[in-house]
Amino acid sequence: MRLISHFIDGEAVSQPDRLGDVFAPSIGQVQAQVELADIAMLERAIASAKAAQPEWAATNPQRRARVMFAYKALIEDHMNELAELLASEHGKVVSDAKGDIQRGLEVVEFACGIPHLLKGEYTQGAGPGIDVYSMRQPLGIAAGITPFNFPAMIPLWMSSVAIACGNAFILKPSERDPSVPVRLAELMIEAGLPKGILNVVHGDKLIVDAICDHPDIKAVSFVGSSDIANYVYQRAAAAGKRAQCMGGAKNHGIVLPDADLDQTVADLLGAAYGSAGERCMALPVVVPVGEKTAEALRAKIVDGIETLKVGISTDAEAHYGPVVSAQHKARIENYIQMAVDEGSELVVDGRGFSLQGYEEGYFLAPTFLDRVTPAMQSYQDEIFGPVLQMVRTDTFEEAVGLATRHQYGNGVALFTRNGDAARRFASEVEVGMVGINVPIPVPVAYHSFGGWKRSGFGDMDQYGMDGVRFYTRTKKVTQRWPSGGSVIDQSFIIPTMK
């Protein structure tokens, strides 16, 4: 049995006292075990980070950028290895796993520009003989708690920016698919990162709570369910830390009567069922405006579903693979039944799907539900599986209102040829990330990722300039150099720049 250890101070560190099973979702069997840390192991990682960070922070940004350039090249060189390892533990198909890595790699590319990103501001002559400037300085030690659904992308989002800014970083990845985060840490050491700057500690709630509470960890970044995101945010904030905590989603795709339905359906199928729906930026709710649009859209969706192929993660022809675990499969099936019990019309039922030769795998075929209403619990909750729900509306305003009023505010998409409607939609809808004829509007690496409402807790988003701001503190300096040895009159009032 393969054992997945912690990675501390540049090497594997074993502590097999508590173990968690790592499954192969395509076959439904345990393929490895991951070691779960105790508090002493986390303390060991923090001590390593604390010892290494001051020298790394003192390393000039250009040299830190060179490590990022080398890291980028190594990830590219090992792309196939990383994607196959990721697919084996998560279950997503290899081509999708490469996309997972690529979107994280783009943030590494962004971090290569850290010398420019860290530049402060300068004002000469703000007052008589007075100059004012600012500088960005690292926090010290930051930590990331990442989910199972993107075991490469999200650790790269967090760690590359934090480390480029001069921090040490402690990563607590999901215990469901932990091998890729460890491999990425190994590659960063190979790229020239000093030992101790990136440590990987596996664990459960015990370690999550300890990360939130530990006084030497100055910032916590989290991605996961909304309830846990809120919990981590509150606990970290109570301990005096910065926290950016991204939660769940229920993203809507609004389809206007003038939309290109063929392209829209192609986009919907990929966004709803890709990666078995296990994406916080999936598109699980389609909202057609008008009955004619709804009927035409429904027919094309049903036809499109019939063309989709579910397969094992290494099947190059499969559109998506299994879900991550037997427990998650059962949860999705329960939500499908809930939707039926609430009065939805089950147009296509993906339950009961079995793949010959892989009968124990965690497979679900596409499910499509029509005539869903906003009052239904299955609409309000995040299902996180290959399930598409249709909510019919009569007007554009009603459709926009659905997305605006929902408890989640992560992403939303509008499909239309009407520029005026699109402009109005982007301005009015109360959601953090908006797509116009783009079904999965994840911003590029030099912007920032983050949702509103119960999809995001904290003031700053992931990566981009918000990431740089999150992992640094701005120090403001006001300086004066008197000339001629003269004494400047002092007074007992607040200084002004006269």
Residues belonging to the active site: 280
Which has the closest alpha carbon to 139: 471, 464, 467?
471
DSSP assignment of 121-190, as one string?
-EEEEEETTEEEEEEEEE-SEEEEE--SS-TTHHHHHHHHHHHHTT-EEEEE--TTS-HHHHHHHHHHHH
Q: Give kind and range of the element (H or E) at residue 77.
A: helix 61-77
Distance CA 476, CA 136 (A): 9
- The structure tokens listed for 393 are 């509306």
| Residue ranges of E strands in 9-140 | 11-13, 19-24, 29-35, 122-127, 130-138
Q: What residue spans of 165-260 are helical by DSSP H?
A: 179-190, 205-213, 226-238
Q: How many CB atoms lie within 10 A of CB 347?
A: 16
Residue in the structure block whose two tokens are 């533990």? 89
- The structure tokens listed for 158 are 């967090």
Which has the closest alpha carbon to 264: 242, 241, 284, 286?
286
- The structure tokens listed for 20 are 């968690």
Q: What residue spans of 419-489 are helical by DSSP H?
A: 419-428, 464-470
> Which residues does 77 contact at the CB level (< 8 Å), separation at least 6?
none
Which has the closest alpha carbon to 470: 456, 484, 483, 480?
456
Q: Give kind and range of the element (H or E) at residue 95.
A: helix 94-111
Distance CA 185, CA 171 (A): 9
Which has the closest alpha carbon to 294: 250, 264, 335?
264
Distance CA 310, CA 269 (A): 13
Q: How many CB atoms lie within 10 A of CB 137?
A: 15
Residue in the structure block whose two tokens are 């926009």? 400
